[in-house]
Structure 1
Amino acid sequence: MTSVLYDVPGPKAILRNRILGVATVIVVLAVLGFVSYQLWQSGQFEASRWYVFTFSAVWVQIFDALGRTLAAFGLAAVLSLILGFVLAIGRLSEHAWVRVPVTVVTEFFRAVPVLVFMMLLYYGLPVIGVRMPPYWAVVIALMMYNGSVLAEVLRAGIESLPRGQKEAGYAIGLRKNGVMRLILLPQAVRAMLPVIVAQLVVTMKDTALGFIITYPELLYFAKLLGSQQGRPILQSAFIIGGIYIVMCLILSGIAKYIEIRTRRSPKLRAIANAHNPAADDESTLTEAIALQKGAGKHDIGGMPGI
């Protein structure tokens, strides 16, 4: 038996929705037209404003700045994911001497703004005789902040799983690390993947804060371009902003591809079937774990696998 969660719109509702849709499109087009007209009136489309971008040397420097942005983002993203997993598992620990310090660390770094952390690392550490390159100040600040946020995301994903998942894992003889690694984490990561990707997009965009501590990334170079002859400030913002948009779209596309692949994966499909209340928990989880590690390789009854 199926249930309807909403009423099918009638003729009046359909007409109202169409009117609202048309009105929204008109308003958006009007705003875009007004902005374009103002840009044209102020001479932002003149060739002299875009002249600086006709030099190949400028584009070489833009791609160099892009490389430095990706270098900071790539390392910060990997370290953030690793730190997020570690902190999430620590917060779920049954031992207070592990859980409490990890909770304090997580909440502290979530509360400190990324820019403040970068400035403390770059401008504050030299006061005590420690000098840190801008690259590492950007990476460490992004890692600590985004790692703590991802820890909360993963913890929420794990705690949202049915309690029977963990209990069924213990019932077939898995230890705590086996239950976490083979049952809970794969499902939590799959469920939280959109949020994880969204946070990685934030990490990529936050690399732009590095220009304040003189890290020569994209925004830093855009600021330099804006001070050139003709003051192409908006033009630099359009070019650099477009590059950021393309990078975010690529990252979202990669996440979508991973999501589709995991949906088709027989391993994760078997794990996902454990959500089905009509299925037998032990048999379903046994099948999932066998697919994950291979039959006979997981710990059962506290004995090491062969």
Structure 2
Amino acid sequence: MSQQTVLFDIPGPRAKKINFGLSVVGILLVAAIIAWIVLRLNDADQLTAAKWEPFTYADIQRELIKGMVATLKAAAVGTVFALLMGAVLAVGRLSDHGPIRWLATTIIELFRALPLLLLIFFAFELGDGSISPFMAVVIGLSLHNGAVLAEVFRAGINSLPRGQAEAAYSIGFRKNQTMRLILIPQAVRAMAPSIVAQIVVLLKDSSLGFIIAYPELLRSVQQIGSQYFNLLPAFIVGATIYISINLAVAGIAKVIEIRTRHSKTGIGPAPIGATVPVTVGKG
């Protein structure tokens, strides 16, 4: 037996020069865009201290925090229901029973095709006052994103090797046990980036509750801007909060993904640039 060392591809001198040039161009382009935005804000008198001073007031900060909490609340509840709905519909679409498969497919295609705003309006109006704005937002988020996540789960399950299911069947697992205990957990890990991306979309879509007077972050920002005649600074502050929340969600999801992967394999990440020994048999 002999060992061969397989190295990662390292960019050559020409590739390094090209990468460096592209990086410089990208940085200059971003700097130019930021400078243009700052100049436009300055020309519109949006950088004056008077426009930004309201955000130092305690009551304004409390209003922003209240809107942020309302946004996170709707997004968290909507995420839970969307994940559950997505898993159930994915299993239904992969069912061996035709009626179940047809029903799941119809539900998925229906709620994927309908605009989220229409679903929120429909839920709010259907209740005729008995459904709160919060529940209407949650229902809309759950139905639309649940249908999208169903396709994500289905793609993840179909991407798994056929031997995973065959091995489960060989030891006496029924199909629902195989799906619940073997395939879905692996599909979630395989499709984690897509799931996280959809959760981030769901969180941002919660801002549509503004239309039915749900007191989420966007509505708080709009009210502050209208009250102090500083809509642009208010929306910049709101955008900053949204970006911070989404980065935090993505970071938490990444940590969970890494820990889950390592807990299953017991193998830590290899150092960057490390060599990977490969054993090759002779003959």
Q: CA deviation at 1:228?
A: 1.6
2:246 corresponds, among 248, 257, 263, to 248
1:117 matched residue in structure 2: 119
Q: Which residue identity does 1:118 align to in structure 2?
A: I
Q: Which residue identity does 1:32 align to in structure 2?
A: I
1:286 matched residue in structure 2: none
Q: CA deviation digits over 1:204-231, x for unaligned, max 9?
A: 00000110111111101111111123x1
Alpha carbon RMSD of aligned pairs, Å?
A: 1.9
Q: CA deviation at 1:143?
A: 0.2
How do 1:235-274 residues align onto structure 2 when only pairs under 5 Å count?
Answer: 235-265=233-263, 268-269=264-265
Determine helix, strand or coil for the equivalent of 1:26.
Answer: helix
Q: CA deviation digits over 1:245-265, x for unaligned, max 9?
A: 111111111111111111221
Determine helix, strand or coil for the equivalent of 2:196.
Answer: helix
2:102 corresponds, among 88, 100, 103, to 100
Determine helix, strand or coil for the equivalent of 1:93.
Answer: coil
Question: Could you tell me how far apart the structure 2 residues matched to 1:174 and 1:2 are?
Answer: 41
2:195 matched residue in structure 1: 196
Question: Could you tell me how far apart the structure 1 residues matched to 2:218 and 2:6 are?
Answer: 52
More displaced 10-residue stretch of structure 1: 29-38 or 82-91: 29-38
More displaced 10-residue stretch of structure 1: 11-20 or 131-140: 11-20
1:24 matched residue in structure 2: 26
Question: Could you tell me how far apart the structure 2 residues matched to 1:85 and 1:191 are?
Answer: 14
1:39 matched residue in structure 2: 41
The unaligned stretches of length 5 or more in structure 2 are 267-283
1:135 correspondence with 2:140: no
Per chain length, whose mean CA-contact separation is higher, i.e. which structure has more relative contact order (CA < 8 Å, sep 6+)? 2
1:52 correspondence with 2:54: yes
Q: CA deviation at 1:182?
A: 2.1
TM-score (norm 2): 0.87
Question: Could you tell me how far apart the structure 2 residues matched to 1:35 and 1:178 are?
Answer: 56
Determine helix, strand or coil for the equivalent of 2:215.
Answer: coil
Question: Could you tell me how far apart the structure 2 residues matched to 1:5 and 1:64 are?
Answer: 49
Determine helix, strand or coil for the equivalent of 1:43.
Answer: coil
Determine helix, strand or coil for the equivalent of 1:227.
Answer: helix
Q: CA deviation at 1:3?
A: 7.5
Determine helix, strand or coil for the equivalent of 1:174.
Answer: coil
Q: CA deviation digits over 1:93-121, x for unaligned, max 9?
A: 10011110111011100111101111222
Question: Could you tell me how far apart the structure 1 residues matched to 2:265 and 2:6 are?
Answer: 25
Q: CA deviation at 1:168?
A: 1.3
Question: Could you tell me how far apart the structure 2 residues matched to 1:178 and 1:121 are?
Answer: 34
Q: CA deviation digits over 1:232-273, x for unaligned, max 9?
A: 1111111111111111111111111111111221xx338xxx
How do 1:255-294 residues align onto structure 2 when only pairs under 5 Å count?
Answer: 255-265=253-263, 268-269=264-265
**CA 1:61–1:93 in 2, change beyond 3 Å: closer, same or farther?**
same
How do 1:72-83 residues align onto structure 2 when only pairs under 5 Å count?
Answer: 72-83=74-85
1:210 correspondence with 2:209: yes
Question: Could you tell me how far apart the structure 1 residues matched to 2:173 and 2:79 are?
Answer: 31
1:180 correspondence with 2:179: yes
Question: Could you tell me how far apart the structure 1 residues matched to 2:243 and 2:54 are?
Answer: 22
Question: Could you tell me how far apart the structure 1 residues matched to 2:56 and 2:21 are?
Answer: 45
Question: Could you tell me how far apart the structure 2 residues matched to 1:249 and 1:10 are?
Answer: 34
Question: Could you tell me how far apart the structure 2 residues matched to 1:214 and 1:29 are?
Answer: 38
Q: Which residue identity does 1:60 align to in structure 2?
A: R
Q: Which residue identity does 1:234 align to in structure 2?
A: L
Q: Which residue identity does 1:148 align to in structure 2?
A: A
Q: CA deviation at 1:58?
A: 1.2
Q: CA deviation digits over 1:129-184, x for unaligned, max 9?
A: 56422111100000000011111100110011111111111112222122112221
TM-score (norm 1): 0.81
The unaligned stretches of length 5 or more in structure 1 are 271-306
Q: CA deviation at 1:32?
A: 1.1
How do 1:214-225 residues align onto structure 2 when only pairs under 5 Å count?
Answer: 214-225=213-224
Question: Could you tell me how far apart the structure 1 residues matched to 2:18 and 2:240 are?
Answer: 36
Count of matched residue positions in the alignment of Structure 1 and Structure 2: 263
Q: Which residue identity does 1:196 align to in structure 2?
A: I
Question: Could you tell me how far apart the structure 1 residues matched to 2:157 and 2:73 are?
Answer: 31
